[in-house]
A and B are shown apart, each in its own frame.
Chain A
Amino acid sequence: AQSVTQLGSHVSVSEGALVLLRCNYSSSVPPYLFWYVQYPNQGLQLLLKYTTGATLVKGINGFEAEFKKSETSFHLTKPSAHMSDAAEYFCAVSRNAGKSTFGDGTTLTVKP
């Protein structure tokens, strides 16, 4: 079985501030981990993914995430928030090429 927990359903930061969105997972096998962003009434866009190899993963739009096996975490960060980063963010886990399980999502608000 696999599951994802996103801590904090709402995160609010000021423009230019650090963004930290938390994700913890459980998986009985080495996981594949993903972060997606969703804008209103749109589908999901992949920000970044971890499968194997380097544990620090860089994605699009300046986001990055670090896979920490000992903490079963895959937190998403961005050094400086931009207004355009305001959206819904989903963490997901899958096993190999199997179906993905999504977290409940975190709404990111960026204040001017």
Chain B
Amino acid sequence: GAVVSQHPSRVICKSGTSVKIECRSLDFQATTMFWYRQFPKKSLMLMATSNEGSKATYEQGVEKDKFLINHASLTLSTLTVTSAHPEDSSFYICSARDSAGQGSEQYFGPGTRLTVT
């Protein structure tokens, strides 16, 4: 089956620094990837839709300059949390849609636990 990886799986950083999270589709090409944020005991909140070769589409209320998304290839999207603060601590999950598939299914990565101290 389709596999999506995320790196790192968990990261601790100091307030004010930037952190990059990678999302890779390992055995398929993904024109579209999605970035979600999940708070403890809460559902997934879609942050943005990442489109290969073009600008990401951000959901209302998500700061574009704070959460930088780059989708430079058909197998890699990155999320950079800039000038991180403790309130950015969360579980970040990406998903990818198989460009060659039927298009209905997203494949999810294992998530990245970000802790900002």
**What residues of chain A have their CB less than 8 Å away from a CB belonging to chain B?**
32, 34, 36, 41-46, 49, 51, 90, 94, 96-97, 99-105
| A43, chain B: closest CB distance, angstroms | 4
In the complex, which residues of chain B have a beta carbon less than 8 angstroms from the beta carbon of A102?
Answer: 43-44
| A19, chain B: closest CB distance, angstroms | 20
In the complex, which residues of chain B have a beta carbon less than 8 angstroms from the beta carbon of A100?
Answer: 34, 46, 106
Beta-carbon contact of B104 and A90 below 8 Å: no
Using an 8 Å CB-CB cutoff, how does the interface string of B85-117 with A read, 1 for contact, 0 for none? 000000101010100001111111111010000
The A-contacting residues of B in range 52-97, CB under 8 angstroms, are 91, 93, 95, 97
**What residues of chain B have their CB less than 8 Å away from a CB belonging to chain A?**
4, 6, 34, 42-44, 46, 49, 91, 93, 95, 97, 102-111, 113
Main secondary structure of the interface of A (DSSP, over half): strand
Beta-carbon contact of B108 and A51 below 8 Å: no
Q: List 23 A-B contacts (CB under 8 A).
A: A32-B104, A36-B108, A41-B111, A43-B93, A43-B108, A44-B44, A44-B93, A44-B95, A46-B105, A49-B104, A51-B102, A51-B104, A90-B43, A94-B104, A96-B103, A96-B104, A97-B104, A99-B34, A99-B46, A99-B49, A100-B34, A103-B43, A104-B42
Main secondary structure of the interface of B (DSSP, over half): strand
Beta-carbon contact of A41 and B106 below 8 Å: no
Q: How far is the CA of A101 from the CA of B106 in the complex (A)?
A: 12
Given A94-B104, A96-B103: A43 in contact with B43 (beta carbons within 8 A): no
Q: How far is the CA of A104 from the CA of B107 in the complex (A)?
A: 19
| B113, chain A: closest CB distance, angstroms | 7
In the complex, which residues of chain B have a beta carbon less than 8 angstroms from the beta carbon of A105?
Answer: 42-43
